[in-house]
Amino acid sequence: MGKTILVFLSLFIYSISALAQNSESESYVILQSGTKVPGVIKSEFDVDSYAKVIFVSNTGEETVYHPGDIQAFGLQNGRLFKSQNIPTQDHPVFVQVLVSGDIDLYKWDKKFFINQEDTVVELKINHSTKTENGKLVNVSSNQYIGVLTLAMNDECGISLKKEIEKARLTDRSLIQLFSDYYSCKNIPHEVHASKMPFSSLSLRMQGSISLIGLVEYKSNKDITYSLDKNSSPYVEIGVRFKEFRNAPRLLVDLGVGYIAESNVVNVEGNLISFMLSGSERYKSSSFLVPIHLSYIAFKKGRNEIYTGTGLTFWVTSFKPETGELIIDNGEPNPNVINSIFADRKEMSISPNLKVGYRNSLSEKTRLFVELKGDLLLKNMNFYPLTYYTTYNYLVGTLSVGIEI
């Protein structure tokens, strides 16, 4: 598991360096007159299809634009949309322009189109049924292969025949095909989607209070264990992958955390021939590498609520200091034994659940509050005298942090 933690740490360091290189450009609209107006496109999420856009110019004027009201609009992440009539609709829509040139490549509502000499054709797979051996079977044909072959019916298209036949109806596959075609022809073109990153990054810093509890795993009904202190401070720094190109509600968090406690574990038991009690003082510290996958369930204005799950990798140092056991068999002077009877696993992986709230303080700064629960299975062992018991270690964490 040590190698796994090193992999996550390497990814974390790479993410920090990538964060330092991340930059943003300004959104804009292109009016019917051809004038480009910079400003802000108001949207809860970055999506592939827009029925309308709410645009706020740099002068503060807010305008709602529908397809046909403007020529096009562009987003900070490089996406370009234009007003366009397409075969499947009887009115203009905002199509996403993936590639522009002699042949434009569009995307709208998860469908792809090409525009050649102002003729727009959908790229699709035709589905039908036919009868074989008295049975009705489904049949599909890649109509889009024929459309692309006809559109690229020149020397470069012929040289790319195998690539055309292997092309799939995905952003990456079609953009790659068009890029190869234009590179062969050596004519001006622009791949707009290449400007848009796969996701954006932000740095997260948080301080937390962790609530700690013991949950019995291997039962020993006659002996119970408890902790003197049930809370401990926790700090974490990490990165958040967000605004994914094809999954804008998705959040992926990767971090490095530290938790330490100085505590006492108590033992109480009512056995057949004697009563057992005692305590052990210890210090425990852990380095954590948590990774979470979350989904934004609600977003309105500057406020978000998200929930998710993940795994936390733990590397723990457990240092017992003093311990004693008291054996009381009814005699005037109970027997006192200096004994260490507790330890923790050095390396663990815990599943966790998380719910969080995030508020945008500014364009680049967000405040978040999170509640997370980790369950470390079979993490703490107790062995007073000859009585062995295993407990799960439950950690609930309430965090407040800043995302920049």
List the domain boundaries for the chain.
26-195, 200-403
The answer to whether the CB of 159 falls within 8 A of the CB of 184 is yes
Q: What is residue 140's predicted lDDT score, i.e. its pLDDT?
A: 87
Report the b/e string of 119-138 with b at 16+ CB within 10 A: ebbbbbeeeeeeeeeeeeee
Q: Which of 74-83, 90-99, 208-217, 384-393 has the lowest mean pLDDT?
A: 74-83
Q: What is residue 13's predicted lDDT score, i.e. its pLDDT?
A: 46
Q: What is residue 133's predicted lDDT score, i.e. its pLDDT?
A: 80
- For residue 57, pLDDT beyond 60: yes
Give kind and range of the element (H or E) at residue 216. Answer: strand 200-218
- For residue 59, pLDDT beyond 70: yes
| CA gap 63, 73 in Å, rounded | 13
Share above pLDDT 90 across residues of the chain, in percent, rounded to a whole number? 75
Mean pLDDT along residues 34-61: 87
For residue 44, give Cα distances in angstroms to 18, 60, 151, 296, 302.
25, 19, 37, 11, 9
Pick 276 or 220 by higher pLDDT: 276
Q: Which of 23-37, 233-247, 274-288 has the lowest mean pLDDT?
A: 23-37
Q: What is the β-pairing status of strands 250-270 and 103-108?
A: unpaired
The amino acid present at 277, given as its one-letter code, is: S
pLDDT digits (tens, 9 = 90+) for 337-351: 999 999 999 999 999
- For residue 96, pLDDT beyond 50: yes
- For residue 6, pLDDT beyond 60: no
CA 323 from centre of chain? 44
Mean pLDDT along residues 306-324: 97
Mean pLDDT along residues 132-152: 90
| CA gap 368, 208 in Å, rounded | 12
Is CATH 3.40.1000 what the domain over 200-403 is classified as, yes or no? no
Candidates 202, 246, 237; CA nearest to 24 is 202
Q: What are phi and psi of 236, to 5 degrees?
A: -150, 145
| CA gap 49, 69 in Å, rounded | 16
Placement of tokens 């003197």 in the chain: 228
Q: What is residue 195's predicted lDDT score, i.e. its pLDDT?
A: 57
pLDDT band at 194 (very low <50, low <70, confident <90, very high): low
| CA gap 240, 199 in Å, rounded | 10
The two tokens of residue 231 are 């809370």
| CA gap 261, 378 in Å, rounded | 19
144: left (phi over 0), alpha (psi -120 to 50) or beta: alpha
The answer to whether the CB of 41 falls within 8 A of the CB of 54 is yes
The conformation of residue 90, written as its DSSP 8-state character, comes to S
pLDDT band at 392 (very low <50, low <70, confident <90, very high): very high
| CA gap 403, 253 in Å, rounded | 11
User: For residue 120, what are the β-bridge partners?
Assistant: 115
Across the chain, what does the average pLDDT equal? Answer: 90
| CA gap 377, 345 in Å, rounded | 10
- For residue 196, pLDDT beyond 70: no
- For residue 17, pLDDT beyond 60: no
